[in-house]
């Protein structure tokens, strides 16, 4: 049985989602530096006081607007596919990441957040705790399954493996040092399987 | 025979170096956002017009102040050690990078520049051309020597190899996602040798 939410709660949720969507749109259109609470309020059709009721500052709204991109509506982190074919599963996941980074609506807010994180150790710790760590744990579940199946070295350092798999892609994207393509994603998967294979 | 520089040239060079040193110091002390041309001029003991004669804006001074950290006085990029022992040579180089990133006087200006680059494709291209590409070329010279010696796969993609070697370290540093230690440097070297070995 679904409990019916009172109207006020529904209105709040609608406002909250409108604010987060407006934040992401404005970052894409203006760049992080030029986004203001005033502009977010105007775009979302709410008063500034509504934003300040939930978030203390612009950085906090941006943080939640990015968090919303990476979690399903329940806030859970998606599990990785496990078809039994580790190489195919990792290729699928890494190619999906490449596709996301090619989409300005997705990558621009994350770029804004990353440059904030680089200059704010507290925000870095919060990001790590609330987003990066749960996402990494879901990935490591898939890697542990591969270890049990004898497809990875049972003693492999899975944190190092994830860094070797994702950091080159992250660096290419952040610093625009090379093209992000499916073949690049596949090359990273092949490198990791060779380095951390049984 | 050394040609004696006229006094004016020597004074200019002294001012230029004072400005770049002041820029790095102020970034460490204040953070990039709070550094101003006024503050740089005051710290360096020069007039603002002296700075604007050589650089159009703050970003350009910061760029050159970081460039100066990475080149010897002639502007040349240092070659990598080549003792014949690839693993030892790469460990030495990567451990040196770890040590540099532990030094606030070194890492803070580079952090400031990296966050500018992440949000400015033109600056990213300039950085790539003037600093990253020559440094990578010097590293690839060492890797080609290892390929000739049969210590690396002769068909290895050397750009990919360098990304796998350095990007995890870069990401840990920029996002503060883990400790930068000598053992971490050694683990990255071991990973790369396993993945790109003969």
Decide if A159 touches B, using CB distance below 8 A: yes
Q: Are residues B108 and B173 in the same domain?
A: yes
CATH assignment of the domain containing B150: 1.10.357.10
A110 and A159 housed in the same domain: yes
A107 lies in the same domain as A182: yes
Position A1 pLDDT exceeds 70: no
If asked whether residues B90 and B169 sit together in one domain, one would say yes
**Residue at a domain's end among A37, A70, A103:** A70
> Regarding predicted confidence, which is higher, A68 or A176?
A176
Give B120's contacts in chain A (Cβ within 8 Å): none
Q: How many domains does chain B have?
A: 2
Within this chain, do residues B53 and B114 fall inside the same structural domain, yes or no? no
Domain identity same for A43 and A101: no
B179 touches A at CB < 8 Å? no
Average pLDDT of chain B, as a whole number? 89
Q: What is residue B57's DSSP assignment? A: S
pLDDT at A3: 56
Tell me the per-residue pLDDT of B18-63, one tens digit each, with 9 for 90 and over: 999 999 999 888 877 788 999 999 999 999 999 999 998 888 898 8
Q: Of B27, B45, B51, which is closest to residue B106 (Cα–Cα)?
A: B27
A25/A121 same-domain check: no
Task: Report yes or no on B167 lying in a domain.
Answer: yes
- Picking from B42, B70, B98, the residue at the C-terminal end of a domain is B70
Asked if residue B132 and residue B91 are part of one domain, the reply reads yes
Residue B123: predicted pLDDT: 84
Identify which of A69, A112, A142, A54 has the alpha carbon closest to the alpha carbon of residue B119: A112
Q: What is the mean pLDDT of each run of 10 residues along chain B (198 residues)?
A: 66 91 90 88 96 89 84 67 96 95 88 86 86 91 96 97 98 94 98 97
Indicate if B39 and B93 belong to the same structural domain: no
Q: Would an 8 Å CB–CB cutoff place A124 in contact with chain B?
A: yes
Which pLDDT value is given to residue B73? 55
* pLDDT value of residue A74: 58
Higher pLDDT, A33 or A91: A91
Opening angle at CA B115, ends B113 and B116, nearest 5? 65
Q: Following CA atoms B182, B187, B193, B195 in sequence, which dihedral angle do they give, to the nearest 10 degrees?
A: -150
pLDDT at residue number B164: 98
CB of A67 within 8 Å of a chain B CB? The answer is no
- What is the domain range of residue B168? 86-196
Backbone conformation region of residue A31, classed left if phi is above 0, alpha if psi is from -120 to 50, else beta: left
Residue A1 lies in a domain: no
DSSP readout, A46-79?
Answer: S-HHHHHHH-SSHHHHHHHHHHHHHS-TTSPPPP
| Residue at A79 is within a domain | no
A positions 20-39 inside 8 Å of B (CB)? 31-33
Candidates B119, B131, B132, B179, partner chain A, best to mutate (most A CBs within 10 A): B119
Domain presence at residue A36: yes
CB contact, 8 Å: A59 with chain B?
A: no
pLDDT digits (tens, 9 = 90+) for A44-89: 999 999 999 999 888 889 888 888 877 665 556 678 899 999 999 9
Q: What is the pLDDT of residue B57?
A: 84
- The reply to whether A187 and A95 lie within a common domain is yes
The CATH code of the domain that includes B55 is 1.10.10.60
Question: How much is the pLDDT for A2?
Answer: 52
Domain final residue, candidates A16, A38, A70: A70
- Per-residue tokens: B44: 């360096």
Show the tokens assigned to B130. Answer: 């003037």
Question: Which chain A residue lies closest to B115 (C-alpha atoms)?
Answer: A115
Enumerate the residues of chain B whose CB falls inside 8 A of the CB of residue A167: 167-168, 170-171
**What residues of A are in contact with residue B175 (Cβ under 8 Å)?**
114, 117-118, 124, 127-128
The reported pLDDT for the residue numbered A5 is 61
């Amino acid at each position: 049985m679904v409990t019916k939410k009172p109207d006020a709660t529904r209105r709040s949720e609608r406002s909250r989602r409108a604010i987060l969507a407006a934040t992401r749109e404005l970052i894409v259109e203006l760049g992080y530096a030029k986004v203001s609470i005033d502009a977010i309020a105007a775009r979302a059709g709410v008063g500034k006081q509504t934003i300040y009721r939930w978030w203390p500052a612009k950085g906090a709204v941006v943080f939640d607007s990015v968090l919303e991109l990476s979690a399903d509506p329940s806030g859970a982190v998606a599990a990785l596919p496990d078809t039994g074919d580790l190489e195919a599963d990792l290729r699928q996941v890494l190619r999906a990441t490449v596709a996301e980074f090619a989409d300005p609506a997705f990558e621009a807010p994350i770029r804004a957040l990353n440059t904030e994180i680089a200059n704010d150790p507290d925000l870095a710790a919060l990001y790590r705790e609330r987003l990066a760590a749960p996402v990494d744990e879901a990935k490591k579940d898939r890697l542990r399954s591969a270890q049990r199946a004898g497809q990875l070295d049972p003693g492999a350092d899975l944190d190092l493996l994830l860094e070797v798999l994702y950091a080159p892609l992250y660096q290419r994207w952040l610093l625009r040092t090379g093209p992000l393509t499916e073949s690049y994603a596949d090359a990273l998967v092949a490198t990791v399987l060779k380095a951390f294979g049984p």
